[in-house]
Each structure stands twice: as structure tokens, then as C-alpha cells.
Amino acid sequence: MKIKVINPNTTLSMTAKIGEAAASVAAPGTEVVAVSPRMGPVSIEGHYDEAISAIGVIDEVRRGEEEGFDGYLIACFDDPGLAAAREIAKGPVVGIAEAAMHTASYISGGFTVVATLHRSRIILEHLARAYGMDHKCRKVRTTSLAVLDLEVEGSDAQSVIFEECRRAIAEDGSDCIVLGCAGMADLVAAIHKEVGVPVIDGVTAGVKVLEGLIGLGVTTSRLGGYAHPLKKTYIGSMAQYQPD
């Protein structure tokens, strides 16, 4: 099976890191292709970046349908464009936030999400609630780290994240860490070693969720709210996204 992992931001070093993480857990026979869109922000920090990045996600899913992918993983913890992508992809589409939180729920009595900038907190709290995971997510911890700080060699990003993970265990009563940014996908082992509890990264979790769905032969229901977009006219710069 072929899975397209879409890093909705356009920072290719992060895409490479995400691709490596995804490939590291892919089953034999699973081909993982990690891409960044041709357009959009270099990082996604807030609702505005997120709304813009959805176009890139859509663009990559549309191209992916022609390229013959069996499923898609949206590799930003805001899950941008997730519902829209479900309407246009034949195969299943999964976001890393939903994948990480549902996956954590199988092995944890209560987890903490450790994310980047404080401004993302309400986005992640909203997602936890929308996914029904608010009773499992004891806290969303945010930091002073920008997403791209995670790409800088020698930054203190790792130590900041470690500190929040330690506090998650000590103060939140959590028994599991969920990494709240795709850019942390390479930190799983180090954090696990540091805090000794399971660490769930949405990129790797999402690959396994997709392998599962594709393996089951199920895909997004076409009956209800995720039916294919209706044929209609799109004008102006968005005409290119007009549904077929």
C-alpha cells in the first residue's frame, strides 16, 4: 500500500524528519511518501496558518489521488484540512492529533499533550474535546518554543520539552506523553528514556492507524457528512480546486 504523509508546512527539513519517522514504523509492503505542499506557511502556529495550510493539504490530496495513494496522513498536530481531505480522497485520511490521542487511549489512564507555542493551546484543547478525548487528556502543556526551534541544531528545544514532560508526570498525574507537534517525531526514544512512560508521536501512530484502516478495507463513509464534494463552480484563484 502507498501512504502519502503530508507535512502541511513547507519546511523540508521537517518533512524529511517526518518521513523518516513514518518509514521507521511502516510495515513491509507499506510505501511511505512524505511531502510538503507547493504552497503555504513554513510552520503552522495558530488558526490563520492552519486555515491557509489546508489549501496545501487539499492540493496534495488531489495530486495524490492521481498518483494512486491508498491513504493520507496529515502530519501537523492541528489536523488542518482533515475533514475536507476526507471528502476528496478515495482512501482513508487520518490526522496525527486524532491518531495520537486515540492510540494513547489504549495504553494510558491519562495523558498530557506537550506542544510548542502557547497560542496553540486552545486549538489542541478544542481537538481533544472534538475527538472525545478530553477526559483522557489531563492537560495540554505549551511552551515558548516555536515550531522551527525544533529544527535548529543546538537550540534548547529538547531541554524545554523534557522539562514539560517531567512536569506532566509529576504534576498532572499523567502516565503517558503525547507529542503535540510533528516536528518532535525524532524525540520519542529520548523522551521515553527521560521520563520512563510511553511516548506517543502522531506521525508514527498515524501510519499504523492508516495501515489498519487500509488493511481492513474500509474508507470514509460516503453517505453522510463526508460525501464527495458536489459539483459546482469555484471562481477566481480557487477555480483550480473546483470539484470534479
| Residues within window 41-100 making contact with a second copy, judged by CB under 8 A | 41-43, 45-52, 54-56, 58, 81, 83-84, 86-88, 92, 94, 98
Residue 99, amino acid: A
Residue 1 interacts with a second copy (CB under 8 A)?
no
The stretch near a second copy (CB under 8 A) out of 126-134, 150-158, 159-167, 179-187 is 126-134
Number of residues that bind a second copy (CB under 8 A): 100
Residue 152 interacts with a second copy (CB under 8 A)?
no
Compare residues 19 and 81 and give the one whose CB is closer to a second copy: 81
Question: Mutual orientation of helices 157-171 and 188-195 as an angle, nearest 10°?
Answer: 40
DSSP letters for 151-214: GSTT-SHHHHHHHHHHHHHHHS--SEEEE-SGGGGGGHHHHHHHH-S-EEEHHHHHHHHHHHHH
- Of 22, 74, 133, 185, the one binding a second copy (CB under 8 A) is 133
- Of 14, 17, 96, 108, the one binding a second copy (CB under 8 A) is 108
Binding mask 224-243 toward a second copy (x if CB under 8 A, else -) reads xxxx-xx-xxxxxxxx-xxx
Cα within 13 Å of Cα(63), Cβ side: 14
State the nearest-atom distance from the C-beta of 146 to a second copy, in Å: 7
Compare residues 161 and 203 and give the one whose CB is closer to a second copy: 203
Q: Which long-range contacts (CB under 8 A, 24 or more apart) does 107-110 make?
A: 107/176, 107/198, 107/200, 108/136, 108/174, 108/175, 108/176, 108/198, 109/175, 109/176, 110/136, 110/137, 110/138, 110/172, 110/173, 110/174, 110/175, 110/176
State the nearest-atom distance from the C-beta of 66 to a second copy, in Å: 17
Binding mask 167-206 toward a second copy (x if CB under 8 A, else -) reads --x---xxxx-------------------xxxxx---xx-
